[in-house]
């Protein structure tokens, strides 16, 4: 505890050093509609974000976000019944600028019928070397409550902490890069209370050769992630960006994520294409089929913890219908953006039980999903 206090004091002393001119984020509002569809799941809803400066040194931001879920996913149809659900999330934040230092505080609340999450976050950024370098330190504290729809007595806590450090660096007249490191610790109930694992049971009354029992996860998880990103301005006014992230955690899950983005403006349009690749190993307590009931201390069959490879191809087009030289009243700029992300996930150890194949010979599950977004943005 003493070490932690000393660490933060030193961090603040190191960051709140020199003072030079820096800027607050632009005043803007975004109204977004999102739709995720695939694998028997449809999730859609709005997200509204408004940011406004107050005076010269404070900027306030608010966001309201809704997920309306209709789920008949592979997990749901093999062990439970399809359901509908709604999640509402709102957040408030404030940026305070003093010289070249920006401090941010924020609070996010998320509510659904069986899961409540509250997150408090704080960060401090310092611009250095004639604004070529920005160093950011961040901390977030999450306080979640997990419940179960069919059991009103079920209530479990989950505490989360995230420590982050980031460095953004202008490298040349055409190149900017950023490095982010994050450590996250979770402590509490990490299971999904509805999910089950599968085990071999020769005397299964349904004649499938297997049965299901509840998952049992460890109560702690610590993960480390480091991400590197660089964006380069091409000679003919277009941009290219490369990104890589390495992830590892105490559940033995190790992941590599890489992406390549190309941005091409044309008149009042901006077109973006992106390819993203993710590959991960499975958690040490994950198994598609356990040899018997209660075979191990911890057990899970959550397909997100299975070894998997995912591919995402993105297309995005944005049209600026309002520029600064033709502003409408207090509105300076406006744009409309549409995008689609085509997601495909190959699970390397998660069987598709809907195929009704002989035990041990089921085909592996493959998820294809599309994510659509349509949003208006205004600057004022």
Partner 1 sequence: MEKNCLTIARILLPLLVFGGLLGCSNIEPWVKPYERDKLADPIMALDSDPVSTSYLQHVFESREGARGGEGAAGGGCGCN
Total residues contacting partner 1 by CB under 8 A comes to 111
Closest CA to 168 of 218, 226, 125: 125
Distance in Å, CB of 296 to partner 1, minimum? 18
Distance in Å, CB of 204 to partner 1, minimum? 24
- Please give the structure tokens belonging to residue 31: 């109204």
Which CB atom, from 53 or from 231, has the smaller least distance to partner 1? 231
CA dist 355 → 112, 302, 345 (Å) = 32, 19, 18
What is the torsional sign of CA 79, 80, 84, 89? negative
Return the range that interacts with partner 1 (CB under 8 A); candidates 61-69, 289-297, 322-330, 348-356.
61-69
Return the range that interacts with partner 1 (CB under 8 A); candidates 149-157, 203-211, 253-261, 287-295.
253-261
Distance in Å, CB of 184 to partner 1, minimum? 6
Distance in Å, CB of 327 to partner 1, minimum? 17
Distance in Å, CB of 376 to partner 1, minimum? 11
Residues 15 and 122 sit within 8 Å (Cβ to Cβ): no
Distance in Å, CB of 213 to partner 1, minimum? 18
Which CB atom, from 114 or from 204, has the smaller least distance to partner 1? 114
The yes or no reply on residue 350 touching partner 1 (CB under 8 A) is: no
Region 1-20 residues binding partner 1, contact defined as CB under 8 A: 3-4, 7, 10-11, 13-15, 17-18
Query: Could you give the string, one character per residue 19-58, with x where binding to partner 1 holds by CB under 8 A and - elsewhere?
Result: -----------x-x-x-x----x-x---x-x---------
- Please give the structure tokens belonging to residue 102: 């920006």
d(CA 40, CA 65): 22
Taking CB atoms within 8 Å and a gap of at least 24, the contacts of 70-76 are 70/41, 70/42, 70/43, 71/40, 71/41, 71/42, 72/40, 72/41, 73/39, 73/40, 73/41, 74/39, 74/40, 74/303, 74/352, 74/353, 74/354, 74/365, 74/367, 75/195, 75/302, 75/303, 76/40
The yes or no reply on residue 375 touching partner 1 (CB under 8 A) is: yes
Region 257-276 residues binding partner 1, contact defined as CB under 8 A: 257, 263, 265, 270
- Please give the structure tokens belonging to residue 275: 């390819």
Phi, psi (rounded to 5 degrees) for 31: -125, 115
The yes or no reply on residue 94 touching partner 1 (CB under 8 A) is: no
Indicate the DSSP class of residue 2: H
Region 144-203 residues binding partner 1, contact defined as CB under 8 A: 144, 146, 162-165, 168, 170, 172-174, 176, 178, 180-185, 187, 192, 194
Residues 282 and 301 sit within 8 Å (Cβ to Cβ): no
Taking CB atoms within 8 Å and a gap of at least 24, the contacts of 149-155 are 149/113, 149/114, 154/193
Of the candidates 98, 105, 109, 260, which one interacts with partner 1 according to CB under 8 A?
A: 109
Return the range that interacts with partner 1 (CB under 8 A); candidates 203-211, 244-252, 288-296, 322-330.
244-252
Query: Could you give the string, one character per residue 113-142, with x where binding to partner 1 holds by CB under 8 A and - elsewhere?
Result: --x-xxx-x----x-xxxxx--x-xx-x-x
Distance in Å, CB of 295 to partner 1, minimum? 21
- Three-class SS of 166-192: EEEEEEECCEEEEEEEEEEEEEECCCC
Which CB atom, from 92 or from 357, has the smaller least distance to partner 1? 92
What is the torsional sign of CA 117, 40, 43, 318? positive
Quick check: helix, strand or coil at residue 324? helix
Half-sphere exposure of 320 (CA within 13 A, CB side): 17
Query: Could you give the string, one character per residue 286-325, with x where binding to partner 1 holds by CB under 8 A and - elsewhere?
Result: ----------------x-xx--x-x---------------
Return the range that interacts with partner 1 (CB under 8 A); candidates 110-118, 210-218, 291-299, 355-363.
110-118
Region 222-241 residues binding partner 1, contact defined as CB under 8 A: 222-223, 225-227, 229, 231, 233, 237-239
């Amino acid at each position: 505890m003493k070490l932690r206090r000393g660490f933060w004091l030193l961090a603040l002393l190191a960051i709140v050093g020199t003072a030079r001119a820096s800027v607050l984020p632009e005043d803007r509002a975004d109204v977004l509609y999102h739709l995720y569809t695939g694998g028997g799941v449809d999730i859609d809803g709005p997200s509204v974000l408004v940011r406004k400066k107050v005076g010269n040194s404070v900027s306030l931001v608010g966001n309201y976000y809704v997920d309306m879920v209709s789920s008949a996913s592979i997990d749901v149809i093999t062990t439970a019944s399809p359901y509908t659900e709604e999640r509402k999330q709102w957040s408030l934040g404030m940026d305070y600028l003093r010289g070249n230092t920006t401090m941010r505080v924020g609070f996010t609340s998320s509510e659904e019928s069986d899961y409540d999450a509250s997150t408090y976050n704080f960060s401090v950024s310092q611009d250095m070397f004639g604004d070529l370098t920005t160093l950011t330190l961040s901390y977030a504290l999450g306080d979640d409550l997990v419940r179960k729809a069919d059991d009103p007595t079920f209530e479990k806590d989950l505490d989360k902490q995230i420590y982050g450090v980031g460095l953004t660096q202008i490298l040349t007249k055409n190149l900017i890069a950023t490095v982010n490191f994050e450590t996250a610790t979770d402590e509490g109930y990490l299971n999904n209370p509805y999910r089950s694992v599968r085990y071999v049971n020769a005397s299964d009354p349904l004649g499938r050769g297997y049965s299901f029992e509840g998952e049992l996860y460890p109560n702690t998880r610590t993960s480390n992630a480091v991400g590197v990103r660089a964006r380069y301005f091409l000679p003919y006014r277009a941009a290219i960006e490369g990104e890589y992230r390495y992830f590892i955690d105490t559940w033995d899950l190790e992941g590599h994520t890489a992406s390549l983005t190309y941005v091409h403006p044309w008149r009042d349009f901006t077109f973006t294409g992106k390819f993203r690749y993710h590959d991960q190993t499975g958690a040490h307590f994950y198994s598609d089929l356990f040899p018997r009931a209660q075979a191990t201390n911890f057990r899970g069959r959550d397909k997100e913890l299975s070894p998997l490879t995912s591919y995402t191809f993105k297309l995005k087009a944005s049209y600026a219908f309002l520029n600064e030289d033709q502003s409408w009243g207090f509105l300076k700029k406006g744009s409309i953006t549409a995008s689609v992300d085509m997601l495909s996930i190959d699970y390397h150890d998660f069987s598709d039980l809907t195929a009704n194949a002989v035990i041990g010979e089921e085909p592996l599950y493959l998820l294809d999903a599309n994510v659509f977004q349509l949003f208006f943005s205004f600057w004022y």
